[in-house]
Chains A and B, each alone.
Chain A
Amino acid sequence: MQANKPEDFYQNVSKALAQPDLKKIIRRTTDKAEAKRAEAIANFPEFDNARSQGQKVKDHTIKYMEHYLAEFEKNALAQGTIVHWASTGEEASKIVLDICRQHKAKKVTRSKSMLGEEIGLTHAFDNSEMERIETDLAEHIIQLAGDPPSHIVWPAMHRSREDVVKLFREFHADPTYSEEITDLVRSARRDLRTKFLTSDIGISGSNFLLADSGSSCTVTNEGNAELTITPPKVHIVTAGIEKLVPSMAHAVPLLRLLTRSATGAEITQYITFHNGPKRPNDADGPQECHIVLVDNGRTKMLAEGMEEMLRCIRCGACMNHCVVYKHIGGHAYGSVYPGPMGSVLTPHLNSLEVANKQTHACTMNGRCEDVCPVNIPLPKLLRSLRAQSWQKKYEPLLNRFVVQSFAAMAKRPRLFQLLSSCGVIVMKVFSRKGWIKTMPFTSGWTRNRDLIEPESTTFMHQYKKMKKTKNGGA
């Protein structure tokens, strides 16, 4: 599947809405995640306190980022980790590939990291002489399918079991002929086992970077991070600079929030802290450890007053609860990060000129903010991006004309009331049995759903009438 581009958002959305089963497939996973999260929060009465504490941890670290980055670097070096810095995704990918080439790597295993996707690492490997092996089951599926991820927690949620059966039969050395999900997972286990053990380099992301020890922390439910990192002779971590927290004790409140918000589980099965290369007598582990600290738009967010977005712990709760995401899925956004958090991040990682349409793909119902484990005011940030996009004249001319005309009308009450009354009459003409199926200038709405018939008179007319009756009755 060819990756969509963010600038083609409207075409991407049309394509997504035209797929008959996509909405059903997306909702199968997101609705389950929503229900499980609600249950987990109901069983955790201290959740609001935890959320407030989690927000404080992130805000504190962001406020003192310069201090904590320097601390992290000093302590990581002391552990024997080689620290690299990258301003852009391109630089980060180049650093990673160069390390692999220095070690004459042929096979590289990678555990899921959205940052890896963000910096274009997967493509960089695919254009190299090295073999990239994705070890997270979902990433394994989309690698075989040639798809980009469609969700940050379940990157293969757009693929059905039938798709997986076909892919595994085509690509696995010893595939299953069963269509049972358990057998499919066993097939992947068999296929990846040898690859884990014969890999030259293991690459991981990091959920948290601990400043006081220079450690990185991985969180998985499959255990693929440890299997990716331990057997090869070199471990490379790629991490965004916003992953910093002061210490392990500060990561703990965020761990309590992360999995409850992501999957509804109280904790994920594997939390591992990685502290540099193996010690001289260790039974296993890599001999060399690198960490690539990536900016790629994060300091720009800090400078532009978007620091609240740097709190994000990548749980995906905002997209699981987003009515727009649930209709169009992740690919339509044309970015590694879909949904509400993606609509805020992508303009910074790419540019607002390219990704301004996504900021409008929001009903402002506020659910994303309600469920965010670190209180990111996503609707406020989206509104601010919309305002910037307007000021920079990125909106299409027709949109600008319509909005300006509406503003001119709304500022003149008499004209507004006259045109509203005319609007009600016109809508009534097109209405059949309480619904409008089609009407001039409304195809954007009526193409995919009906418009409800309006009341007989405008709101203002009814309001005045009601007020008069009330006063008359008193």
Chain B
Amino acid sequence: MNKHISEQSRAKIFSAINAAAPTLTMDAKTIQQEALEILKESEFARPKLLSEDATQALMLRIEAGLVIGTSGEKLITLDDLPNAVKQFFSKHSLPQALKVQGIEQLQKLNWAGISTDSDIQQDNTVGLCWAEYGVAETGSFVVHSSAEMPILLNFLPLYLIAVIPKSKILHYMDDYALIANEIAKKGETPRNMCLISGVSGTTDIEGVLVQGAHGPEVLHIIIIEDQ
């Protein structure tokens, strides 16, 4: 029944658009060319970064308080990560309970003394994830859903640490869109691509900003220089 309604509506919608502005018979390449022309304007229609160096621009953005609820630090190598996490626990007076994303480069680190598979539904557990990319323009990290990346790891904990390899920090959102396009060409588009720029916040009660609405209240971004 619904299939029938849907087919009828599809025909109605296409016929109404066709009557107003027919384009389906147009050459797809011409349309694509026009669409690409619009993108050439991006260079003059986006904000200047705080530094020409993408990593520096991302860090400056965080330090200036422009990324809600977010702090940042740089580490020389990945081996320094467990110590940095311990300092994070201490700063926020948290028990040493961590939920680490199940990827080899994070799991193989020496987490001595830290429980690495705690329940992320507990508000004192820290989530730790490996970002695919960073974006300097918006102070974002990007995660892709996969077997090793549960999307909820980024949304359930009250405290979240995102690790970004320095080599994967992009200047602009446009640069990420180009990468997403390349991934699509290979037929490897993940179900979710999330650009996360700060913590979960709301201004729904009297316009007052509160952090930790449904997801993290505190976000710490760690950039690994040799990755």
A273 part of interface (Cβ distance < 8 Å): yes
Residues of A within 8 A of B77 (CB): none
A255 touches B173 (CB 8 A): yes
Chain B nearest CB from A151 CB (Å) reads 10
Given contacts A66-B17, A67-B31, A271 and B202 within 8 Å (CB-CB): no
B112 part of interface (Cβ distance < 8 Å): no
A302 touches B210 (CB 8 A): no
A299 touches B213 (CB 8 A): no
Interface mask (B142-157 → A, CB under 8 Å = 1, otherwise 0) = 0001111111101110
A231 touches B35 (CB 8 A): no
A56 part of interface (Cβ distance < 8 Å): yes
Given contacts A247-B181, A248-B177, A250-B35, A226 and B155 within 8 Å (CB-CB): yes
Residues of B within 8 A of A148 (CB): none
- CB under 8 Å from chain A, chain B span 123-164: 138-140, 145-152, 154-156
A137 part of interface (Cβ distance < 8 Å): yes
A67 touches B200 (CB 8 A): no
* Set B26, B147, B180, B181: member contacting A282, Cβ < 8 A: B147
B9 touches A269 (CB 8 A): no
Main secondary structure of the interface of A (DSSP, over half): helix
A64 touches B26 (CB 8 A): yes
| Contact count band on B | 35 or more
Given contacts A269-B196, A275-B191, A285-B145, A181 and B210 within 8 Å (CB-CB): yes
A335 part of interface (Cβ distance < 8 Å): no
| Contact count band on A | 35 or more
A283 part of interface (Cβ distance < 8 Å): yes
B213 touches A273 (CB 8 A): no
Residues of B within 8 A of A44 (CB): 47
Closest to A230 in B: B151
* Set B21, B31, B35, B189: member contacting A302, Cβ < 8 A: B21
A272 touches B16 (CB 8 A): no
Interface mask (A266-300 → B, CB under 8 Å = 1, otherwise 0) = 11111111111111011111000000010100011
B207 touches A94 (CB 8 A): no
Residues of A within 8 A of B184 (CB): 212-213
A247 to B181, CA, bound (A): 9
- CB under 8 Å from chain B, chain A span 251-275: 251-253, 255-256, 263, 265-275
A465 part of interface (Cβ distance < 8 Å): no
A186 to B210, CA, bound (A): 9
Given contacts A57-B38, A64-B23, A252-B177, A272 and B193 within 8 Å (CB-CB): yes
Interface mask (A57-81 → B, CB under 8 Å = 1, otherwise 0) = 1001011111101100000000100
Chain A nearest CB from B156 CB (Å) reads 8
A446 part of interface (Cβ distance < 8 Å): no
A51 to B166, CA, bound (A): 32
Residues of B within 8 A of A186 (CB): 212
- Which one of B16, B38, B146, B191 has the highest number of Cβ atoms from chain A below 10 Å of its Cβ? B191
- CB under 8 Å from chain A, chain B span 178-227: 178, 180-181, 184, 189-208, 210, 212-216
* Set A136, A227, A249: member contacting B174, Cβ < 8 A: A249
A247 to B147, CA, bound (A): 26
B52 part of interface (Cβ distance < 8 Å): no
B47 touches A266 (CB 8 A): yes
B147 touches A275 (CB 8 A): no
* Set B138, B191, B210: member contacting A266, Cβ < 8 A: B138
B104 part of interface (Cβ distance < 8 Å): no
A222 touches B213 (CB 8 A): yes
* Set B34, B35, B200: member contacting A247, Cβ < 8 A: B35
* Set A28, A184, A189: member contacting B207, Cβ < 8 A: A28
Chosen A-B contacts, 30 in total, with CB atoms closer than 8 Å, are A33-B207, A44-B47, A49-B44, A50-B45, A60-B35, A63-B21, A66-B17, A69-B14, A87-B8, A98-B2, A141-B205, A154-B207, A160-B206, A193-B121, A193-B214, A196-B214, A197-B121, A212-B184, A221-B200, A226-B152, A231-B152, A246-B32, A247-B177, A250-B38, A252-B177, A256-B47, A273-B192, A277-B191, A279-B145, A285-B145
* Further contacts, 10 of them, CB under 8 A, given A65-B21, A249-B39, A295-B9: A33-B207, A52-B41, A60-B38, A69-B17, A85-B10, A154-B204, A189-B214, A213-B184, A221-B200, A270-B194
Residues of chain B whose beta carbon lies under 8 Å from any beta carbon of chain A: 1-2, 5-10, 12-14, 16-24, 26, 28, 31-32, 34-35, 38-39, 41-42, 44-48, 66, 68, 102, 121, 138-140, 145-152, 154-156, 172-174, 177-178, 180-181, 184, 189-208, 210, 212-216
Shortest 10 CB-CB distances between A and B: which pairs?
A299-B16, A283-B150, A223-B215, A85-B10, A249-B177, A281-B147, A49-B45, A138-B204, A85-B9, A50-B45
